[in-house]
Chains A and B, each alone.
Chain A
Amino acid sequence: MGKKVLKYIIVVVVVLLVAYNSVYFKKLDQVKAEQTAKTFNASSYAQNFWDKKLTPGLKDAIAIEKLIPMLNANPAQTFDNYSHALGIGNLRYFLIQGKGTITAIDADDITVSIAGLQGQKVKIATEYIFGNAARDAMGLININDFHNTMDFNNVSAEINAIIRSRVLPQLKHAKVGNGISFTGAIELNKEHLNLAQIEAVPVAINIQP
């Protein structure tokens, strides 16, 4: 009797062990993420874009003190010549560079008074680093390189992550009154141009104490 019970217990334990080791549970989003990673790696694409396209192309950014008068004088032509976007519509992106003095440091941005263009201010975003400005501003990404919509959305998110980790730390010790030179991406609406509130997503920063 005792032997029989022991035999049954051993059988049940073996069955439970086999069953436990035969079934695996994974989170659905983890499985989906693995499938996406197999087809397209947004992180490595963004890294490559940052190192091989964006960084070498920073010298081609248009100076803000030249861009603003051109936008005021001939907006349509200036948009045609200097702005880019992956899709169609009124939202277009420019890669700009500027120099000036930091006049305010707030929780979400730093305000820079632009040298050589009296009264013109640019806000450099320090908190809300989202959207497609840094991805699209140079016009170097071709939409046909992507098979699905989420891939190029993820590229934006990864480029923004690089900005948070590599660029924003340089602004940590900035103080009001410091000189600053920057390169950044801005979004402007072609139909309803608002040059009073320009916000740049920074891609390169140099603070002069």
Chain B
Amino acid sequence: MVMVLCGCKSGSDQGKHKKVAVIVSTLNNPWFVVLAQTAADQAKSLGYETKIFDSQNNTAIEADNFENAISAGYNAILFNPTDADGSVSNVLEAKSAGIPVFCMDREVNSVDAATSQILSDNYSGCVAIGKYFAEKLNKQGKYVEILGLVGDNNTWNRSKGFHSVVDFFPGLTMVAQQSADFDRNKAMEVMESILQAHPDINAVFCGNDAMASGAYQALVAAGKANDIKVFGFDGAQDVIESIQNKKIMATGMQFPKVMAKTAAIYADEYFKGKRDFPKKMPVAVELVTRENVNDYTGYGKKE
């Protein structure tokens, strides 16, 4: 009798008893806080119990988070990986335990591990930035590229998208390409040192907005902020304000909330029986310039 009652209860309340884990690379960066919190809120609004696990940018902690989520009986994982290669084994562990994993914003280097990967279309976003960059420089000039983490796929997708346009114009010459690890302070130092060797550059393309802010700060200190054009990528609030104040030229707006909500909705659809998810789902990145900046706010559009 008890078994029958339990069976009936679990059958009628199937969705409500499921749990969704959100495992995020770090909560020490507002971008990832927005991503994780939105994913958790969306899953909760769909009727699932949720918990956020912080991997602190450490694959070992991430592995512990996966083990804990699996042993605690979570039914799906909304995942922002710490490392494209290093995180694959964690995803495979969840897969072998029958738990679907939906990657958000960062990908893992495996076609079969995750159920779906919802990612910013970094390449196309940087094609748009590259086009605007070439237009604003009249296809002529010397420029510098400041890259993000060299081991991160997003770094190279952005760089490749940008170069697919600017390399088309022989008048545009890259005089230096250096990594600043997506870090504002490092970008400032890198920019200071590049300016010593190349004081005559016309523009800087940075792989994220934190680095664009750091590079701009170095240009202000060198008295060159009005002569050298700075381009970023992300859509961070301070860079949106910088574009409004005619300091930074442009950025690529990513939509972390769209990615997080989509991941939670996919998990919900998975529970309801759907299985044919796209392996990779790009989310459009929009070009934000001085001409259209008033349509946008940090990490999204004005509502």
- List the interface of chain A (C-beta within 8 A of B): 85-91, 108, 128, 130-132, 143-144, 146-150, 153, 156-157, 189, 191-192
Contact = CB atoms under 8 A, between A and B. Distances in A.
A148 B117 CA distance: 11
Contact of B123 (A146, A147, A153): A153
Given A147-B111, A147-B279, 17 more contacts: A88-B283, A89-B258, A89-B283, A90-B284, A128-B165, A130-B127, A130-B164, A132-B124, A144-B278, A144-B279, A148-B280, A149-B157, A150-B160, A153-B161, A157-B164, A189-B286, A191-B295
Contacts of B111: 147-148
Given A87-B282, A128-B135, A149 B119 contact: yes
24 contacts: A87-B121, A87-B282, A87-B284, A88-B258, A89-B283, A89-B285, A91-B284, A91-B286, A128-B131, A130-B130, A130-B165, A130-B168, A131-B128, A132-B124, A143-B278, A143-B282, A144-B278, A144-B279, A149-B280, A149-B282, A153-B123, A153-B160, A153-B161, A157-B164
A87 B281 contact: yes
Contacts of B168: 130
For chain A, what secondary structure do more than half of its interface residues adopt (helix, strand, loop), or is it mixed? loop
A197 to B, nearest CB: 10
Interface residues of B, number: 34
Interface in B42-93: none
Contacts of B285: 89
Interface in B149-191: 157, 160-161, 164-165, 168
A131 B258 contact: no
A131 B292 CA distance: 19
A191 B301 contact: yes
A128 B165 CA distance: 8
Contacts of A144: 276, 278-279
B29 to A, nearest CB: 23
A192 B295 contact: yes
B108 to A, nearest CB: 12
A143 B281 contact: yes
Interface string B272-298: 000010111111111000001001000
